[in-house]
Amino acid sequence: MPPSGSAAGSTESSAAGSAASGVAVPPPRPAGTPAGLWDRYGRRATDMRLSLTDKCNLRCTYCMPAEGLEWLSKQAVMTKDEIVRIVRIGVNALGVRELRLTGGEPLVRADLVDIIAGIRADHPDLPISMTTNGVGLDKKAAALKAAGLTRINVSLDSLHEETFTKLTRRPFLDRVLAGVDAAWAAGLGPVKLNAVLMRGINDAESPDLLEWALGRGYELRFIEQMPLDADHGWTRRNMITAAEIRELLSRDFMLGTDPRERDGAPAERFEVRRRDTATGEATGPVLGTVGIIASVTEPFCSDCRRTRITAEGKIMSCLFSREEFDLLGLLREGATDDQLASRWQDAMWVKPKAHGMDHTGLGAADFVQPDRSMSAIGG
Ligand code: SAM
Ligand code: SF4
């Protein structure tokens, strides 16, 4: 029988800076656990999120503090070869079927193109996507495509310079828009756009943002603000819920169920048609789709297929894990691929059943915001 008690392993050392409170060695999973990244609740992780850096050139209020964070040292961060090896183990030994590169901001890594080329050389058919803030993407999109990147997600919370600058604390809207267009032109589509709505700042703009994305053939996804900001300013009462997002969009649009299988995707997708303001009914053809990622109010933990590796090579089984397990340290000690795969499996076996946020109230009594902010995990 699988163990069902505490997920805690033995604490090896305390992580510094923005890292979580305990870096532990996971307890060994039970003998006979199948190959692959299974957990004790029967979920198998096949979707790998790999953070390339904790650094970023924006300071989004829902993610980073204004002054930034204490960055990891260069030595602490996985090298290109280490990344390529870890992905190889994930894909070849553990059944990872798709990879998302993230950060921090992946574009700030000077060797980004080489990293993608290295992964692609090993895995000709692996879908490799990247989440980026888009700053500098206009100059790199073609090279990223040539190196083997499949697709891109760009974060874009507002089309108004002032609002964008307020949210990101940097006046870079034009650069992001140039990046989105360049990604499309380079063949990195379908381009998905991520937007986090903040009450009183960009929530009222949501229908205009959707109109803009639909007009260009981009797929917009609204992400509920999660309690992963370094400033710890999140409150359940103040966040914009998925229900509110649907309501905001209904000013101009009718959302219909997307007939495609959700297939473990974090976003619930809707087909979008225009709303006839006189009748309130849907009118005209389907214009495209919109996604809503309701991690807080409509969590999808029971169908989660994600495994996460932070920039310094820690395994996190969940964005909200308070436990993380060291993979890079073991690799640097000279571990074999089998030993690394086994550590990864042990770490995933104890993945929490759910993140524990109460979607009906002000947060479950036992929910504690993780020490790491989103940028330090890799969202
Ligand atoms: N820097 C890149 C970017 O912004 O796209 C990649 C890393 S960022 C951490 C990945 C995604 O996480 C972005 O779409 C961002 O909007 C989202 N994100 C960051 N903090 C968040 C929070 N507290 N709640 C919800 N989404 C968040
Ligand atoms: Fe940087 Fe992305 Fe976090 Fe914004 S959301 S501060 S762009 S890591």
Q: Which residue has the least CA distance to atom 12 on ligand 1?
A: 379
Q: Report phi then psi at 209, rounded to 5.
A: -65, -40
Q: Is residue 145 part of a domain?
A: yes
Q: Is 133 in the pocket of ligand 2 (CB under 6 A)?
A: yes
Q: Is residue 325 part of a domain?
A: yes
Q: For residue 105, give the ligand 2 atom closest to its CA.
A: 8
- Predicted confidence at residue 123, as pLDDT, reads 98
pLDDT per position as a tens digit, 17-67: 333 445 688 999 999 999 999 999 999 999 999 999 999 999 999 999 999
Q: Is residue 1 part of a domain?
A: no
Q: Is residue 112 part of a domain?
A: yes
Largest separation between any pair of C-alpha atoms in the chain: 69
pLDDT per position as a tens digit, 245-267: 999 999 999 999 888 887 778 89
Contact 91, 362 (CB under 8 A): no
Q: Is residue 337 part of a domain?
A: yes
Q: Is residue 7 part of a domain?
A: no
Q: Is 228 in the pocket of ligand 1 (CB under 6 A)?
A: yes
Q: How many other C-beta atoms can be found within 10 angstroms of the C-beta atom of residue 34?
A: 9
Distance 179 CA to ligand 1 centre (A): 17
Which residues span the domain enclosing 228? 12-377
Q: In sequence order, what are the residues at sequence separation of 6 or more whose Cβ sits closer than 8 angstroms to the Cβ of residue 2? A: 30, 33, 40, 349
Q: Is 379 in the pocket of ligand 1 (CB under 6 A)?
A: yes
Alpha carbon separation from 275 to 156, 205, 217, 257, 295 (Å, rounded): 24, 17, 19, 15, 27
Q: Is residue 218 part of a domain?
A: yes
Nearest ligand, CA of residue 66? 2
**Where does residue 170 rank: exposed (0-12), middle (13-18), buried (19+ CB within 10 A)?**
middle
| Cα–Cα dist 136/158, whole Å | 18
DSSP code for 18: T
Across 19-23, 71-75, 226-230, 355-359, the highest mean pLDDT is recorded for 71-75
Distance 196 CA to ligand 2 centre (A): 11
Distance 281 CA to ligand 1 centre (A): 34
Q: What is the pTM of this model?
A: 0.92
Alpha carbon separation from 167 to 51, 62, 163, 306, 329 (Å, rounded): 22, 8, 6, 28, 36
Number of domain units in the chain: 1
**Where does residue 7 rank: exposed (0-12), middle (13-18), buried (19+ CB within 10 A)?**
buried
Q: Is residue 23 part of a domain?
A: yes
Best mutation site among 61, 153, 155, 235 for ligand 1, i.e. most ligand atoms within 8 A of its Cβ? 155
Q: In sequence order, what are the residues at sequence separation of 6 or more whose Cβ sits closer than 8 angstroms to the Cβ of residue 204? A: 248
CATH assignment of the domain containing 204: 3.20.20.70
